[in-house]
Structure 1
Amino acid sequence: MSDPLPGLAVWAPDGVAEVRAGDDLADLLLAALEGALTLADGDVVAVTSKVVSKAEGQVRHGGRDAAVAEEVAAPGARVVARRGGTRIVRNRLGLTMAAAGVDASNTEAGTALLLPADPDASAERLRAALVARTGARVGVLVTDTMGRAWRDGQTDVAIGAAGLRVSESFAGREDAHGNPLVVTLPAVADELAGAAELAQGKLAARPFAVLRGRADLVLDEPGPGARSLVRPEGADLFGWGAREAVVQAVAVLLGSPDADPGALPAFGAPLDAEELREVLSRACGDAVTVDDGPDGLGVAVADPRARPLLDVVLAAHGWAAVTDGDRRLRLEPRA
C-alpha cells in the first residue's frame, strides 16, 4: 500500500474554563482532550498568548491605555508609527504590533492583558509539563494576532515556541526548473499558528489547538524559539512609519528631546559611499554635487535651500556633514 496523502489535521477542544492566575495550562489542555484525543509523538500544541498571560498574572487593571503606556515605557520599546489613537509599537520582545500587543478583548471589563514576559520560556514550561505527563514528544507554540503591512486583516503568528523548528531554510537548493533558491525561508511556526487559529476561532473559548502532520518539525530539545524569527533592530527595511521617519531624522539632527533613543539604529546601518551617492542624487538632484576630495567624500551645495534638507537625508542614512567650507561639505558615517 502506498503512503497516505500528506496532510495536516487540527483539533481545538471545547470546554476550557476561564483561565486565572496560577492555573496549570497542561492540566487544562489534557482535561479538555480527555476521551477525545491523546497527544502523540510529533504533535504540535498551540496555545493563545491570552491564556498564557492570564495564567502568568500579566493582567493589568485600569484599562488598555494605561497598559499600553506601561509597555511603551519598557526598555527597548518604541513607537514605530501612529495615526490618531492607533500606535504601532516595537515592544520589549522586539515584536512590532498594534498597541504593543496589549489586548483588552476576552478579559474582564476594565482590565487589559500584557504579552507573556518571555513567550519562549512559557512555551518550554508547557512543553516540559506535557512531555512529563504524557510521554509524548511534542512541540509547543504560543500564538498571538498581528496585522500585516500592505494588507488588511490580521492573522495569528508564533510569538513563543519550544521543541520546534520555527523555520525551514531552502537556501542553496534548486527548484524543479533548476533555479537556485537564495533566501527562501518559510516561517513554519507562523504557518502552524495560522492553521491553529482557524480551528480555535476568536470567540469560541478554544484557546488550545493540537496540530498533527508535521512531526518532522518537532525537536527533542527546546530549539531556537520564536524569538529567532524577530529581525534585529535596524535589519528591517521599515524601522519607522513613513511620517515618523521624517520626524525622527529631523529630531536627531536638531537634538530634540523628543528624538527616540533608538532612532538612528532603527534606520539601519549607514549606507556605503556608492549608495549614498545615489540617495543624494535622488533626493537633491542638481542642488548638490557629490565628489571625492583629498579628505574623502563630500558634496558641494549649489542651492542654499538644499542645505538643511541635506542634513535630514544624511541623518536618516547614517551620515553627517562634519566640516563646512565655502560650498563644500565633507561627509562621514555617524559614529
Structure 2
Amino acid sequence: MISVWAPDGVGEVRAGDDLAALVLPLVELADGDVLVVTSKVVSKAEGRVVSGTTREEALAGETARVVARRGPTTIVRTHHGLTMAAAGIDNSNVELGSVVLLPVDPDASARRLRATVLERTGRNVGVVVTDTAGRAWREGQTDIAIGAAGLVVAETFAGRVDAHGNPLVVTAPAVADEVAGVAELASGKLGARPFAIVRGRADLVLAPGDDGPGARALVRPEGGDLFGYGAREAVVRAVLGDPADQAPFGTPVPPEDLADVLRLLPGVEVAARVDGLVVRGGRPDAVATLAFAHGWRVADAAGAAAYEQTGGAGSAVEARLRPATT
C-alpha cells in the first residue's frame, strides 16, 4: 500500500533557510520513505529569487534554445535539458515584482537534502525535487521530477514477459515522475505545503551513499527526442539550414530513408553511392532543406553551386549528399 501526506506548518521560505530544519519537526520519517519537495522552495532557499524583473526579461539567461513560440507562450530547452514553458520561471507565490528561477542543479539540491536527513535522523530516504510542466498533446499540467537522489528514477521491464507471455521490449515507467505526480495530489498548489512524504515504495530507495543517476537520467539528450522543435519552428530551422541548429533534428537517418523522402519531390532522381547519395533534378532548395532536416548536407561546394543554378526536372547536374557528421 502506498500512502502520501503533506504536512502543514511550513512558513515562507527565504534565501539561506535550512530545508531539513523546516520539514523534520513536522514529520516522522521511516527508512524507505521518499521526501518530495517543490523546486520553488528549493530555489528560494538557494537564493534563486530575482527582484525587479519579469519572466520575459529573465528568460534569455535560463534558455539553452527556443523550441517553440505560440503567442505569449515560449517553450524552451533549459540549461538542465528540460523542455518547459518560460524555462520554468515562476512569478506565483512570490513577492510582486519578483520571479523564481529553477535551481541551478536540482539533482545536487536533492543530494544535499538527502545527506542532511540521514545525518540528523539516521533515516535512509529518497528525495525528489519537483516542478510543474505541461505535456505534448495533453491539456493541463502535472508535476515531474527535475531532481532526485537515492531513488530509482526509472524501472525497466525490458526482457520480461506479461501474463500472456508477450515480451516487454520498451516498457520503462518513469517512477520518479510518478512519485512527483502523486505527491502533488497531497500538496496541492495553494495549500502552502511544499513537502510531501510518499511511503510504500521502499524498493525504489537506494542504499545510503548511493544517490543514483538523478532525474537528469530522464532527460533525453539533444537530438534524441522526436520533437526537437515545434512544428512551425522545425520548418523554419530546416529552411535556414544553420549548422548550429542541426543537433535537435537528431543523428543522420540511413541513406535509404532519405532517398525515400527525396523521391517525394517531383522530378528527383536519387542514386546511392558508397560515400552517400547523388541527386539529380528537382528543386535544389527543397532538396537541401529535406537533407538538413534528416541530418544530411549537400557536399562539394562547387557541385552544390552548379546544382543550385541549374537544378530542376531534366537537369543533368548532380548534387552529392553526405551525412552532416562526415
TM-score when normalising by structure 2:
0.92
Q: Give the number of equivalent residue pairs.
A: 309
d(CA) in 1 for partners of 2:184, 2:268: 53
Moved more, 51-60 or 268-277: 268-277
Deviations 1:43-88, CA, capped at 9 Å, x for gaps: 000000000000000011112222212212xxxx000001122110
Amino acid at match of 1:21: A
Moved more, 233-242 or 290-299: 290-299
Say if 2:188 is the partner of 1:195: no
Structure 1, unpaired ranges of 5+: 1-6
d(CA) in 2 for partners of 1:169, 1:243: 35
Q: Which residue of 1 aligns with 2:58?
A: 67
Deviations 1:237-283, CA, capped at 9 Å, x for gaps: 0001111111111222xx5xxx8x3x10110001111111122234x
Q: Which residue of 1 aligns with 2:213?
A: 224
Q: Which residue of 2 aligns with 1:4?
A: none
d(CA) in 2 for partners of 1:294, 1:222: 47
Deviations 1:280-335, CA, capped at 9 Å, x for gaps: 234x1x3211113587521111x4xx221111111111112223463322111113
SS in 1 for 2:104: coil
Match of 1:153 among 122, 136, 140: 140
d(CA) in 2 for partners of 1:156, 1:14: 19
Q: Which residue of 1 aligns with 2:289?
A: 312
Say if 2:43 is the partner of 1:53: yes
Amino acid at match of 2:50: R
Deviations 1:86-115, CA, capped at 9 Å, x for gaps: 110000000000001111111111100110
Match of 2:19 among 19, 25, 28: 25
Is contact 2:152-2:206 (8 Å) kept? yes
d(CA) in 2 for partners of 1:294, 1:126: 55
Is contact 2:158-2:170 (8 Å) kept? yes
Q: Which residue of 2 aligns with 1:184?
A: 171
SS in 1 for 2:269: strand
Q: Which residue of 1 aligns with 2:10?
A: 16
Match of 1:116 among 99, 103, 110: 103
SS in 1 for 2:225: coil
Name the CA shift for 1:60/1:177 in 2 (closer, same or farther; >3 Å).
Answer: same
d(CA) in 2 for partners of 1:69, 1:44: 34
d(CA) in 1 for partners of 2:34, 2:134: 24
Name the CA shift for 1:313/1:14 in 2 (closer, same or farther; >3 Å).
Answer: same
d(CA) in 2 for partners of 1:48, 1:295: 52
Q: Could you list the runs of 4 or more consecutive aligned residues of structure 1 that deviate by over 4 angstroms after TM superposition?
A: 293-296
Deviations 1:102-145, CA, capped at 9 Å, x for gaps: 11111111100110010000001100111111111100000000
Name the CA shift for 1:43/1:251 in 2 (closer, same or farther; >3 Å).
Answer: same
d(CA) in 1 for partners of 2:79, 2:108: 15
d(CA) in 1 for partners of 2:274, 2:120: 72
Moved more, 291-300 or 95-104: 291-300
Q: Which residue of 1 aligns with 2:313?
A: none
1:79-158 residue pairs with structure 2 within 5 A?
Answer: 79-158=66-145
Q: Which residue of 2 aligns with 1:242?
A: 231
Q: Which residue of 1 aligns with 2:240?
A: 251
Say if 2:278 is the partner of 1:298: yes
SS in 1 for 2:263: helix
Deviations 1:13-61, CA, capped at 9 Å, x for gaps: 011000000000001001232xxxx100110000000000000000111
d(CA) in 1 for partners of 2:297, 2:179: 45
SS in 2 for 1:185: coil
Deviations 1:118-173, CA, capped at 9 Å, x for gaps: 00000011001111111111000000001000000000000000010001000011
Q: Which residue of 2 aligns with 1:278?
A: 260
d(CA) in 2 for partners of 1:293, 1:316: 20
d(CA) in 1 for partners of 2:46, 2:276: 56
Q: How far apart are 1:190 and its partner, in Å?
A: 0.2
Name the CA shift for 1:295/1:234 in 2 (closer, same or farther; >3 Å).
Answer: closer
TM-score when normalising by structure 1:
0.89
d(CA) in 1 for partners of 2:274, 2:218: 44
Q: How far apart are 1:215 and its partner, in Å?
A: 0.2
Structure 2, unpaired ranges of 5+: 308-315
